[in-house]
């Protein structure tokens, strides 16, 4: 499932003649998805992940998204029993404002405010506030050719995180991101996102480095690079079909000026795959995760507003974050989802 925080571009609704915009009617959508994860090779990695997502468009430009992720049996590698029986809860809310034209130009914008809470049921809860301004330049490019740029954006971001339960501490993050998606022939696309950011820590968030070193700040460079493909394998009727999709690549490559036990918040918020191979035990200055995920999805549309999908896939990921258990085998995953437009 997609973990990264999504920014919503809400277009105006046009009449059939395309001349005059119709009166806008507030609308929204709601979805529930349940994913199950199997064992990866000889490792006991069975787990489950529930996601609830509700989006409401107050106006053509203003929307609110409420999302809740809940997981059971998240796992880590400790060199002994490979199951880290841990639960996780992550409710969040995102308020977005769409600007269809910035200063009368072709550049578009989305301003968003995101608030979320992380609970791993160990006596500590951490909350985060994200303020982002996305500036998009895709409309400057021709979209009619076999190769086109569907997204090219810069995204300044400020993040503040603090422990709401447990030891006191906080982290401030300033980031600048370059986001791009290129549409290719035959239903292929490439997403290439780069991030430069700096963390400042206080209290319990201060990094413990090698030896007795402590760090109150750290610089990071992060790169996500995904190749994506989708196609319809068979259309049974107007209401149901069987589809195939593939995504794979770097998720992520990350480098830092610190060698310390810390996985930065922005990494977990931006990766493609919701469930990483491990509970990552720290940044090791220069490392990467590679993955491939082919998936088959059956979709049944009860009507124009209500649909059901059942999906099954298998993921391969090369885990290189630690000194132990670096390599993964294939891990099956699958589940079902229900979505409703209102």
CA angle 264, 122, 31 (to 5 degrees): 70
Q: Which of 87-101, 190-204, 319-333 has the lowest mean pLDDT?
A: 319-333
Which CATH code fits 27-341? 2.40.160
Say what the pLDDT of residue 2 is.
40
Q: Where are the domains of the chain?
A: 27-341
More confident residue, 77 or 190: 190
Are 95 and 137 a contacting pair, CB within 8 Å? no
Say what the pLDDT of residue 261 is.
65
How far apart are the C-alpha atoms of 247 and 294, rounded to whole Å? 7
**pLDDT range class, residue 329, cuts 50, 70, 90:** confident
Per-residue model confidence as pLDDT tens digits over 246-303: 999 999 888 889 887 677 899 889 999 877 654 445 555 677 788 999 999 999 999 9
Mean pLDDT of 76-105: 80
Judged against a pLDDT cut of 80, whether residue 6 lies above it is answered with no
Q: Which of 18-22, 204-208, 227-231 has the lowest mean pLDDT?
A: 18-22
Say what the pLDDT of residue 209 is.
81
Judged against a pLDDT cut of 60, whether residue 68 lies above it is answered with yes
Say what the pLDDT of residue 1 is.
34
Say what the pLDDT of residue 154 is.
98
Mean pLDDT of 217-233: 96
Judged against a pLDDT cut of 50, whether residue 15 lies above it is answered with no
Say what the pLDDT of residue 213 is.
87
Say what the pLDDT of residue 18 is.
43
Judged against a pLDDT cut of 60, whether residue 8 lies above it is answered with no
Q: What's the distance, Cα to Cα, between the start and end of the chain in Å? A: 23
Per-residue model confidence as pLDDT tens digits over 163-176: 999 899 999 999 99
More confident residue, 206 or 16: 206
Strand ranges (E), the chain: 27-37, 47-57, 62-74, 86-99, 108-119, 125-136, 148-165, 169-183, 188-203, 207-208, 214-215, 217-235, 240-260, 283-301, 306-318, 327-341
How far apart are the C-alpha atoms of 270 and 157, rounded to whole Å? 12
Mean pLDDT of the chain: 86
Cα 309 to chain centroid, rounded:
20
Judged against a pLDDT cut of 50, whether residue 19 lies above it is answered with no
Are 92 and 67 a contacting pair, CB within 8 Å? yes
Per-residue model confidence as pLDDT tens digits over 107-166: 999 999 999 999 988 888 999 999 999 999 999 999 888 999 999 999 999 999 999 998
Say what the pLDDT of residue 117 is.
97
Answer whether 0.95 is exceeded by the pTM.
no
Number of CB atoms found within 10 A of residue 203's CB: 12
Per-residue model confidence as pLDDT tens digits over 311-325: 999 998 876 544 444
Judged against a pLDDT cut of 90, whether residue 188 lies above it is answered with yes
CA within 13 Å, CB half, 7 = 23
């Amino acid at each position: 499932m997609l973990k990264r925080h999504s920014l919503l571009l809400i277009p105006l609704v046009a009449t059939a003649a395309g001349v005059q915009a119709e009166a806008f009617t507030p609308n929204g959508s709601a979805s529930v998805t349940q994913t199950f994860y199997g064992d990866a090779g000889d490792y006991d990695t069975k787990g489950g992940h529930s996601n609830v997502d509700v989006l409401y468009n107050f106006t053509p430009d203003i929307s609110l998204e409420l999302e809740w992720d809940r997981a059971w049996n998240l796992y880590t590698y400790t060199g002994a029993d490979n199951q880290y029986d841990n639960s996780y809860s992550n409710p969040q809310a995102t308020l977005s404002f769409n600007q269809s034209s910035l200063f009368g130009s072709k550049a578009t914008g989305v301003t968003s405010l995101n608030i979320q809470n992380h609970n791993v049921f160990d006596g500590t809860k951490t909350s985060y506030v994200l303020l982002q301004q996305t500036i998009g330049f895709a409309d400057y490019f021709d979209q009619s050719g076999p190769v086109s740029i569907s997204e090219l954006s810069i995204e300044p971001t400020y993040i503040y995180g603090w422990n709401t339960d447990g030891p006191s501490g906080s982290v401030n993050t300033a980031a600048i991101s370059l986001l791009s998606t290129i549409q290719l022939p035959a239903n292929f696309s490439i997403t290439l996102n780069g991030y430069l950011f700096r963390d400042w820590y206080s209290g319990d968030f201060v990094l413990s480095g090698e030896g007795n070193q402590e760090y109150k700040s750290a610089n990071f460079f992060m790169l996500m690079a995904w190749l994506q493909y989708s196609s319809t394998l068979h259309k049974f009727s107007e209401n149901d079909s069987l589809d195939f999709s593939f995504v794979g690549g770097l998720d992520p490559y990350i480098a830092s000026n610190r060698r310390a036990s810390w996985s930065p918040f922005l990494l977990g918020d931006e990766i493609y795959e919701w469930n990483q191979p491990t509970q990552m035990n720290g940044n090791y200055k220069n490392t990467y995760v590679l993955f491939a995920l082919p998936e088959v999805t059956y979709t049944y549309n009860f009507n124009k507003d209500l649909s059901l999908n059942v999906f099954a896939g298998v993921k391969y990921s090369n885990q290189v974050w630690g000194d132990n258990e670096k390599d993964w085998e294939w891990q099956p995953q699958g589940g079902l989802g229900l979505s409703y437009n209102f």
